[in-house]
Amino acid sequence: MATTTSDVKLLGSWASPFVMRAQIAFNIKSVSYELLEETLYGPKSQLFLQSNPIHKKMPVLIHADKPICESLIIVQYIDDVWTNGPTILPSDPYDRAIARFWAAYIDDKCFASIQDIARGLLEGEAKKAAIEQMSLGLILLEEAFEKCSKGKGYFGGEKIGYIDIALGSLLGWIKVMEKMLGVKLIYEAKAPGLVGWAERFCEDSAVKEVMPEIEKLEEVAKLLHAMFKAPPNSSHRLFIALYPRTGYRDYRPSLNTRNQICIRDCVCDQSAMATSDVKLLGSWVSPFVMRAQIAFNIKSVSYEFLQETLDGSKSQLLLQSNPIHKKIPVLIHADKPICESLIIVQYIDEVWTNGPNILPSDPYDRAIARFWAAYIDDKCFASFLEIARGLLEGEAKKAAIEQMSSGLILLEEAFEKCSKGKGYFGGEKIGYIDIALGSFLGWIKVIEKMLGVKLIYEAKTPGLVGWAERFCEDSAVKEVMPEIEKLEEVAKLLQAKYKGSS
């Protein structure tokens, strides 16, 4: 795909591991781009604020005047659009699902620990726990490397791929943490595969020119320490400029907070498509399990539904299939497990291609769909979970309701844009965002009844009101949408359980 540099702009910083991901992807694809710098804790440019009004976080890719946000979504977009260069995500759907999981795991576990340590706010046992969490995460990634690399040099095999970019972008900051703390996180005794991988990654031509100098990152780390340790009302404000080799962008919101998958062989036998080869482990009350059920119904795929109990006990099959998080849903296809609901939906869409598409065919529309699906889980579900457990009172409950209401108003705006005047986020038919949000509708109604409030209503979200009615009446949804009365009973049990253990 021919593009000019002026058509491709990247808002970010040399020191940001998340901006670096996009830079590496561009280098792999031999795509020229313009890097536009921003200040970190100072005024943001108008272009930046217009391009990412939701999170106001970097990186932001602007391609042909259209913004794409979130580093992992950007990398997938680059891979989708510039198809002439080497592929970044695997071509096999199962390998692709595994890659998406580990990339999200890296952000949720490894980066969370790096961020806590880099800010210098942890002491004693808290610091020790963060280091331990990061060490354990890297040991799991050592196992993942052995399986995904299949004896070759990278997670992606013979060349840098999606997991390589996700983890490799953090290597500079991992080295800074090692120097600051006087510990080794990646070393021969515990992670021999990662030691060799890290050396190869940093020497690759796509990486070398954008990998920051460790000494410069150390300077930024010291500035971060000073800033976050400063008194909240201090008259002295620390500004870190994002100009070449002088600044750092430290944060981006996580893509998925409930990542669930297991370490298994990164190989998928697509010839096995029989119903007996398709099993779904879950519970009828789970909105995340419902996502997979709707996707299967859209594709007219038969599957065996294996119910997990609500009492907290786990079946042996679940524990074997998802040893890391031990959570539902788990899809088992041809004896290979895929976990985490949004990854499962993408997998179903990519494997069963005869039915209607769930994700849009256009790369930009696909990136937007992934953004809003992640937003639904990170914002709406977080508030919903707090309310459903019944542990919030007073101002805390009020704040959670307000956050959920604000999120739904933003989704009303997203519906207007994505639907393009049609009935669903996906246009004329149910798509990826529809499944992500629609799976919560039953629980939203339960919360409305429990709290005596309206979250989706004509005055503020007229588009969502009509959309919700259409969604619930669709044949792919109707048979798996739980009865509200049954969900209310479950909600009462959940509240009793969490209040009893608090």
The predicted model gives 32-51 an average pLDDT of: 84
Q: What is the DSSP letter of 376?
A: I
Instruction: Say yes or no to pLDDT of 498 above 80.
Output: no
pLDDT at position 274 is 42
Out of 81, 112, 133, a domain closes at 81
pLDDT at position 1 is 45
Give me the CATH number covering residue 193: 1.20.1050.10
374 vs 501 pLDDT, higher one = 374
* Residues 330, 436 within the same domain: no
* Residues 224, 97 within the same domain: yes
pTM of the model as a whole? 0.89
In a domain, 438, yes or no: yes
Local confidence band at 260 (pLDDT 50, 70, 90 cut-offs): very low
pLDDT at position 230 is 62
10 vs 500 pLDDT, higher one = 10
* Residues 73, 100 within the same domain: no
Instruction: Say yes or no to pLDDT of 371 above 60.
Output: yes
Separation of alpha carbons 349 and 402, rounded Å:
34
* Residues 186, 117 within the same domain: yes
Express each pLDDT in 299-323 by its tens digit.
Answer: 999 999 999 987 778 999 999 999 9
64: Cα separation from own chain's centroid: 25
Q: 110 to each of 103, 104, 172, 369, how far by Cα in Å?
A: 10, 10, 13, 26
- Report the range out of 40-49, 393-402, 445-454, 458-467 with the highest average pLDDT: 458-467
pLDDT at position 223 is 83
pLDDT at position 248 is 27
Separation of alpha carbons 352 and 302, rounded Å:
11
β-strand partners of 282: 307
Express each pLDDT in 115-147 by its tens digit.
Answer: 777 777 778 898 888 888 899 999 999 999 999
**What's the structural domain count of the chain?**
4
In a domain, 263, yes or no: no
* Residues 342, 381 within the same domain: no
Long-range contacts of range 117-123, CB-CB < 8 Å, 24 or more positions apart?
A: 117/177, 117/180, 117/181, 118/173, 118/176, 118/177, 118/221, 118/224, 118/225, 118/250, 119/224, 119/225, 119/228, 119/250, 120/224, 120/225, 120/228, 120/229, 121/228, 121/229
Tokens of 44: 């943001």
Query: Phi first, then psi: what are they for 6, rounded to 5°?
Result: -65, -20
Out of 229, 245, 263, a domain closes at 229
Instruction: Say yes or no to pLDDT of 410 above 80.
Output: yes
Closest CA to 367 of 40, 57, 71: 71
Out of 23, 49, 81, a domain closes at 81
Q: Is the peptide bond before 192 cis (omega within 30 degrees of 0)?
A: no
Give me the CATH number covering residue 283: 3.40.30.10
Closest CA to 477 of 422, 435, 446, 428: 435
In a domain, 261, yes or no: no
Instruction: Say yes or no to pLDDT of 375 above 90.
Output: yes
The DSSP string of 181-245 is: HT--SS-TTT-HHHHHHHHHHHHSHHHHTTSPPHHHHHHHHHHHHHHHHS-TT-S-------STT
In a domain, 437, yes or no: yes
pLDDT mean across residues, the chain: 87
* Residues 382, 341 within the same domain: no
Domain span including residue 488:
363-501
Express each pLDDT in 427-474 by its tens digit.
Answer: 999 999 999 999 999 999 999 998 899 999 999 999 999 999 999 999
* Residues 60, 112 within the same domain: no
* Residues 215, 98 within the same domain: yes
Query: Phi first, then psi: what are they for 281, rounded to 5°?
Result: -95, 125
Residue 263 and residue 319 in contact, taking contact as beta carbons nearer than 8 Å: no
Query: Which residues, in sequence order, are CB contacts of 134 under 8 Å at separation 6+?
Result: 109, 110, 113, 114, 117, 177, 185
In a domain, 313, yes or no: yes
In a domain, 48, yes or no: yes
The predicted model gives 273-298 an average pLDDT of: 90
In a domain, 209, yes or no: yes
pLDDT at position 91 is 97
Query: Which residues, in sequence order, are CB contacts of 65 under 8 Å at separation 6+?
Result: none
* Residues 58, 136 within the same domain: no
Query: Which residues, in sequence order, are CB contacts of 458 under 8 Å at separation 6+?
Result: 465
* Residues 47, 110 within the same domain: no
What is the bridge-based pairing of β-strands 66-69 and 278-282? Answer: unpaired
pLDDT at position 231 is 57
3-state secondary structure 83-145: CCCCCCCCCCHHHHHHHHHHHHHHHHHHHHHHHHHHCCCCCHHHHHHHHHHHHHHHHHHHHHH
pLDDT at position 425 is 99
User: In which region does residue 120 sit, left (phi positive, over 0), alpha (psi from -120 to 50) or beta (all else)?
Assistant: left
* The 60-63 sheet, strands edge to edge: 34-36, 8-11, 60-63, 66-69
**Helix axis angle, 93-105 relative to 341-351, nearest 10°?**
160
In a domain, 243, yes or no: no
Of 104-108, 171-175, 378-382, 387-391, minimum mean pLDDT range: 387-391
pLDDT at position 264 is 30
Separation of alpha carbons 502 and 500, rounded Å:
6
* Residues 177, 214 within the same domain: yes
* Residues 471, 392 within the same domain: yes
